[in-house]
A and B are shown apart, each in its own frame.
Chain A
Amino acid sequence: MTDRDVTLGVWIALAAVLVAVEVAGRRSAGRLPVVADAVRAVTAPVAGRVVVLLGWAWLGWHVFAR
């Protein structure tokens, strides 16, 4: 097994874990947090919204322009 196989395997495993966490959170009827809860909590203060929007701007610039 090559380093690339290991790296990709961990990425796939992490993606599966994140999906499972989100699904379990949605089926927990509010007992476990989901991504939307995290976004609401982070963006409640003005500074949080600004940081998240700057992150979105950086993401677009990084992916499409640079």
Chain B
Amino acid sequence: MAGSVRGVGLPLAPVAVAVAATAEVVGLARSRPFTLASELLVSAALGAAVAVVVAQRLATTVPAGLGRRTPPAGVRALGVRWLWLVVPVVAVVVWEVAAYVGVPRVDHPTLSSLLDAVDRTAAGRGATAIAWLALGRELVTR
């Protein structure tokens, strides 16, 4: 049957996406930075994101992928209450900069160096890869 996995009846596109995503996560988990493999794997994910956005624009008269949307009225009406979210985020940025200019790095860990500790194992890199790909999927399909 066209468009399905033969003999199983599964729709082809979701299966292909699942297989590709699994291969991407496993590849990223096993790869090391500063290698051609890691660059190719990250480039593949970026290419897939661009392809999704372009396909959305071609498929709709009102672009979904990169079209302008109006935020919900509730979001626009928040006004000064945005400070509730902005202040702690600014605090994170300030502390990141403070840690970044501090030396040695071992005494002043940045978010990057903390993530490096997680990424020392294949399981940690795999979990980070899943989170990064899920975030990308959310950004290009919402």
B81 touches A32 (CB 8 A): yes
Interface size class of A (residues with CB under 8 A): 35 or more
B92 touches A60 (CB 8 A): no
Q: Does A23 contact B (CB under 8 A)?
A: no
Residues A10-40 near B (CB distance < 8 A): 10-11, 14, 17-18, 21, 25, 30-35, 37-38, 40
Size of the B side of the interface (Cβ < 8 Å), in residues, is: 52
A64 touches B71 (CB 8 A): no
| Residues A25 and B75 in contact in the complex (CB < 8 Å), given A7-B109, A44-B70, A63-B128 | no
- A8's nearest neighbour on chain B, judged by CB, is B109
**Residue among A2, A7, A57, A66 making CB contact with B34, cutoff 8 Å:** A66
Interface of B: prevailing SS: helix
- Which chain A residues border B125 with CB–CB below 8 Å? 64
- Which chain A residues border B114 with CB–CB below 8 Å? 11
In the complex the two chains form, what is the Cα distance from A53 to B51 in whole Å?
13
- Which chain A residues border B142 with CB–CB below 8 Å? 43
A63 touches B92 (CB 8 A): no
Interface of A: prevailing SS: helix
- Which chain A residues border B130 with CB–CB below 8 Å? none
**Residue among A2, A11, A32 making CB contact with B95, cutoff 8 Å:** A11
Q: A53-B49, A66-B33 are in contact. List 19 more A-B contacts (CB 8 A).
A: A7-B109, A11-B114, A14-B95, A25-B85, A32-B84, A32-B85, A33-B81, A34-B85, A37-B78, A38-B85, A40-B75, A46-B67, A49-B66, A49-B139, A53-B140, A57-B46, A60-B46, A61-B46, A64-B41
Q: Which 7 A-B pairs have the closest CB atoms?
A: A3-B107, A65-B38, A4-B107, A65-B42, A44-B71, A33-B85, A37-B75
B residues lining the A interface (CB < 8 Å): 28, 31, 33-34, 38-39, 41-42, 45-46, 49, 53, 66-72, 74-76, 78, 81-82, 84-85, 88-89, 91-92, 95, 99, 102, 106-109, 111-112, 114-115, 119, 125, 128-129, 132, 135-136, 139-140, 142
